[in-house]
Amino acid sequence: MKLSLFHRPGTVVFLDDDPDYLEMLALVLPRQWHVKLFLRPTECVNYLQQEPPFWEADAWNQQQLIDQWRDGKPLIPQILDYWSRYTERFALTRVCVFDYSMPGMDGLQALGELVEWPGSRVLLTGQADEQVAVRAFNRGLIDQFITKQAPDISRRLIEAVENLLAMPNDRHAQTWRVTLGPQHNALLRTPSVARDLAHFAAKQWVEHVVIGDPFGILGMDAAGDVSWLQLETTSAIKALAELAEVEGIPVGHLEDIRQGRRLVNLELRQALDPNSPVEYSPTFPIGQDAGLVGALFSVRGALCPNPSSSYGAWLARQGKRHIQE
């Protein structure tokens, strides 16, 4: 399981000329997905062809956060503001699933029209079309193909889309990696560390950002609750304890920090509100013998996004799933 430096939910688009099959998908696909169902290739292609400018605008918004960070503006409040303002970020399609066998325009022809669209592509094929799909996969035209007649098609389809939704986006990774130092990058490339953090993020949040200043992961769950996973290396704990001593942290807490049993949210307070209460949280190891620990802190206050900006609230506003006519 790979760790995405920047992750959020997105829309999943399905194209199939069989309305009964689309109706079945509307019932069995996970309720936490935002799904759009298309019966006609032209309408589906036109819909996806309109997205690239919005992908570019979102990428520009993210880059602006990095540029302002380079100018000295803390990242955490900027990310919270980004989450508050750009609620339509969830509408961007992350994965499309096209049926191959359709009259007029087959699935590969439809995908060939999406030159600029940057999402992941899945092709559903009949058994007779499998060699076509293999060639398309080898040429990089699709990310995966699934035989539609497979007895466990629904499970396989859900697993394939979930894996693609979890895959890191190369452009987002390039944008956010600049906030990480060499030691951070080395740690996050350690397989056991990446695995533990990816599993933690998947269970805790629906969207998150990994940053290096300070080092940790800022995440928000479907209900809009924000939390901060503070990450500290063994060597950094000593510096944290020294800073805590300067801040006048009580001796009992200070010893817990020195021993790596607890972390204190000093850097989070500095980024959000230096007058907020000091908080402590127990640590847990991350990775196998990686010398890295984490501690989870709730993020509260006026800078946090309103619950109406959350994925759960946005998804509820989209209404029931229906086939696009």
Question: Each residue of 112-162: pLDDT tens digit?
Answer: 999 899 999 999 987 667 788 788 888 888 899 888 888 888 999 999 999
Same domain, 188 and 151: no
95 strand-pairing partners: 12, 120
Same domain, 106 and 229: no
Same domain, 26 and 130: yes
Same domain, 118 and 248: no
Same domain, 124 and 176: no
Same domain, 33 and 73: yes
Task: Determine, yes or no, domain membership for 141.
Answer: yes
Task: Determine, yes or no, domain membership for 76.
Answer: yes
Helix intervals (H) in 95-250: 107-112, 130-138, 153-166, 170-177, 182-188, 191-204, 234-246
This prediction's pTM: 0.93
Same domain, 182 and 38: no
Predicted confidence at residue 55, as pLDDT, reads 96
CATH number of the domain at 34, please.
Answer: 3.40.50.2300
Same domain, 145 and 275: no
Tell me the pairing of strands 93-99 and 120-125: parallel
Task: Determine, yes or no, domain membership for 224.
Answer: yes
Q: Are the C-beta atoms of 103 and 17 separated by less than 8 Å?
A: yes
Predicted confidence at residue 128, as pLDDT, reads 64
Angle at which helices 52-70 and 170-177 cross, to 10°: 10
Count how many domains the chain has.
2
Question: Each residue of 168-209: pLDDT tens digit?
Answer: 999 999 999 999 999 999 999 999 999 999 999 999 999 999
User: Whole-angstrom Cα distance, residue 72 to residue 77?
Assistant: 12
Predicted confidence at residue 1, as pLDDT, reads 66
Task: Determine, yes or no, domain membership for 29.
Answer: yes
What single DSSP character describes residue 8? -
Task: Determine, yes or no, domain membership for 1.
Answer: no
Same domain, 28 and 151: yes
User: Whole-angstrom Cα distance, residue 106 to residue 122?
Assistant: 13
97 strand-pairing partners: 14, 122
Predicted confidence at residue 220, as pLDDT, reads 98
The two most distant CA atoms of the chain are separated, in Å, by 75
Q: How far is CA 126 from the centre of its chain?
A: 32
Closest CA to 292 of 159, 174, 200: 200
Per DSSP, the chain holds a count of helices (H) and strands (E) of: 14, 14
Question: Each residue of 240-290: pLDDT tens digit?
Answer: 988 888 888 888 889 999 999 999 999 999 999 998 889 999 999 999 987
Average pLDDT over residues 226-235: 95
Q: For 282, phi and psi rounded to 5 degrees?
A: -65, 150
Predicted confidence at residue 141, as pLDDT, reads 85
Predicted confidence at residue 133, as pLDDT, reads 79
Task: Determine, yes or no, domain membership for 23.
Answer: yes
Q: How far is CA 280 from the centre of its chain?
A: 27
Q: Are the C-beta atoms of 58 and 119 separated by less than 8 Å?
A: no
Domain that holds residue 241: 172-308
Q: Does the structure show a pLDDT above 90 at 3?
A: yes
Same domain, 134 and 263: no
Residue with the larger pLDDT of the pair 142 and 4: 4
Q: What is the mean pLDDT of the chain?
A: 93
Predicted confidence at residue 83, as pLDDT, reads 97
Same domain, 211 and 256: yes
Percentage of the residues of the chain whose pLDDT score is greater than 90: 76
Task: Determine, yes or no, domain membership for 33.
Answer: yes
Same domain, 101 and 223: no
Helix intervals (H) in 50-152: 52-70, 75-85, 107-112, 130-138
Q: Are the C-beta atoms of 86 and 58 separated by less than 8 Å?
A: yes
Q: Are the C-beta atoms of 21 and 219 separated by less than 8 Å?
A: no
Q: Does the structure show a pLDDT above 70 at 299?
A: yes
Closest CA to 42 of 91, 97, 92, 105: 105
Question: Each residue of 33-79: pLDDT tens digit?
Answer: 999 999 999 999 999 999 999 999 999 999 999 999 999 999 999 99
